[in-house]
């Protein structure tokens, strides 16, 4: 299976409408994944050049293979998007990007490769690291966090209402035997959640797996700083498009872009603004753009996507 078959890019037409590849210039894809968005951008913009980054070395390899036909128009780098400033210093030859895309979360390729440990439906080591060359795995967190911290992660990152119960069960079970696989964790959570089968809308381990994935990959850390760096990097009138897949992520995107659009966050009634609000961008999406029913039907993994776009203004 090649990269194109492993992940369907979400909101592809909408991203192209906003990022206008036909205008050429430099495009930076901060979450290259299987390269679907970048391929569409390069196909639609013959004068466009692109830099793609991803922290997942295996994904990067597949995307590079897919995008090889673009030759020197495409450069790939194994990097975390939070290093965007350094990546541009190393690879952009002094050019400022006209368009930047961040399509957060995991790719279908990562979810479908059982041995990556993202999916509870397939037996695999409990890993979940996007960058397997570094950091603690989900099994490490499950083995070492104390019960209160585990419950806090499940509650905050997974919005799991049964977080305490589940954390208690995990700590009890790990004392008996190390929790090393996805299916064992899923079973423990399913039992602890106590939701009868006929009332289960989603698998009872869904929220726990989401929470651990966010914690393992520190997905929310530095998001605000990344968005600010991306705006700083853009050329005047350049555009930043961001696709978020869960509410915590989207809230940070929404608040950061709102602040960058000059929204004053001072308490009402202050005689002068004290928060230092400065308008750096105009918001091109007053409300997030979401996939059509048709797209969701064709690609159910698109269902929670929210796209927000900002345009840098001249200052």
> Does 103 contact ligand SAM by CB under 6 A?
yes
Q: What is the DSSP string of 94-142?
A: TPPPSEEEEE-S--HHHHH-GGG---TTS--BS---SSTTSS--HHHHH
What residues contact residue 198 under an 8 Å CB cut-off, 6+ apart?
none
Q: Which of 41, 49, 51, 80 binds ligand SAM (CB under 6 A)?
A: 80
CB 6 to ligand SAM: min, Å: 8
> Does 130 contact ligand SAM by CB under 6 A?
yes
Look-up of token digits 């350049």 = 238
Q: What is the DSSP string of 247-304?
A: HHHHHHHHHHHHHHBT---SPTT-SS--S---B-EEES-SS-B---HHHHHH-GGGTT
> Does 250 contact ligand SAM by CB under 6 A?
no
CB 300 to ligand SAM: min, Å: 14
* Choices 54-62, 184-192, 206-214, 248-256; region in contact with ligand SAM by CB under 6 A: 54-62
The residues in 6-25 that bind ligand SAM, with binding defined as CB under 6 A, are 7, 9
Cβ distance to ligand SAM smaller for residue 53 or 257: 53
Cβ distance to ligand SAM smaller for residue 37 or 239: 37
* Choices 30-38, 43-51, 141-149, 173-181; region in contact with ligand SAM by CB under 6 A: 30-38
> Does 117 contact ligand SAM by CB under 6 A?
no
* Choices 34-42, 144-152, 158-166, 264-272; region in contact with ligand SAM by CB under 6 A: 34-42
Cβ distance to ligand SAM smaller for residue 19 or 53: 53
Structure tokens at 215: 């914690």
Question: Is 91 within 8 Å of 77 (Cβ atoms)?
Answer: yes
CA distance 99 to 26: 7
Look-up of token digits 């299987």 = 34
Q: Which of 55, 98, 306, 308 binds ligand SAM (CB under 6 A)?
A: 55
Helix, strand, coil proportions of the chain in percent (round to 5)?
Answer: 50, 15, 40
> Does 116 contact ligand SAM by CB under 6 A?
no
Candidates 313, 305, 158; CA nearest to 242 is 305
Cβ distance to ligand SAM smaller for residue 62 or 190: 62
Residue 290: burial class (beta carbons within 10 Å; 0-12, 13-18, 19+): middle
Q: Which residues bind ligand SAM (CB under 6 A)?
A: 7, 9, 31, 33-37, 53-56, 59, 80-82, 103, 105-107, 130
């Amino acid at each position: 299976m090649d990269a194109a078959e492993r992940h369907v890019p979400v909101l592809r037409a909408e991203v192209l409408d906003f990022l206008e590849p036909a205008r050429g210039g430099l495009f930076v894809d901060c979450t290259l994944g299987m390269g679907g968005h970048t391929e569409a951008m390069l196909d639609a913009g013959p004068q466009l050049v692109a830099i793609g980054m991803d922290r997942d070395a295996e994904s990067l390899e597949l995307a590079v293979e897919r995008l090889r036909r673009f030759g020197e128009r495409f450069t790939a780098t194994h990097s975390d998007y939070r290093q965007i400033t350094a990546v541009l210093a190393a690879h952009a030859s002094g050019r400022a990007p006209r368009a930047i895309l961040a399509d957060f979360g995991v790719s279908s390729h990562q979810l479908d490769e059982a041995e990556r440990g993202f999916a509870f439906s397939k037996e695999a080591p409990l890993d979940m690291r996007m960058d397997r060359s570094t950091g603690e795995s989900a099994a490490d967190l499950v083995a070492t966090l104390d019960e209160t911290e585990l419950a806090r992660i499940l509650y905050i990152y997974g919005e799991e209402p049964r977080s305490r119960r589940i954390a208690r069960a995990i700590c009890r079970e790990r004392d008996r035997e190390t929790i090393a696989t996805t299916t064992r964790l899923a079973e423990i959570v399913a039992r602890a959640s106590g939701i009868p089968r006929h009332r289960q809308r989603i698998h009872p381990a869904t929220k726990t797996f989401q929470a651990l994935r966010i914690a393992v990959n520190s997905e929310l850390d530095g998001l605000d700083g990344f968005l600010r760096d991306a705006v700083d990097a853009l050329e005047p009138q350049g555009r930043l498009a961001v696709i978020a897949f869960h509410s915590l992520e989207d809230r940070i995107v929404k608040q950061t872009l709102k602040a960058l659009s000059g929204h004053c966050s001072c308490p009402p009634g202050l005689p002068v603004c004290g928060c230092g609000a400065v308008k750096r961008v105009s918001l091109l999406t007053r409300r997030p753009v979401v996939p059509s029913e048709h797209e969701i039907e064709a690609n159910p993994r698109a269902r929670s996507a929210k796209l927000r776009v900002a345009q840098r203004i001249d200052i």
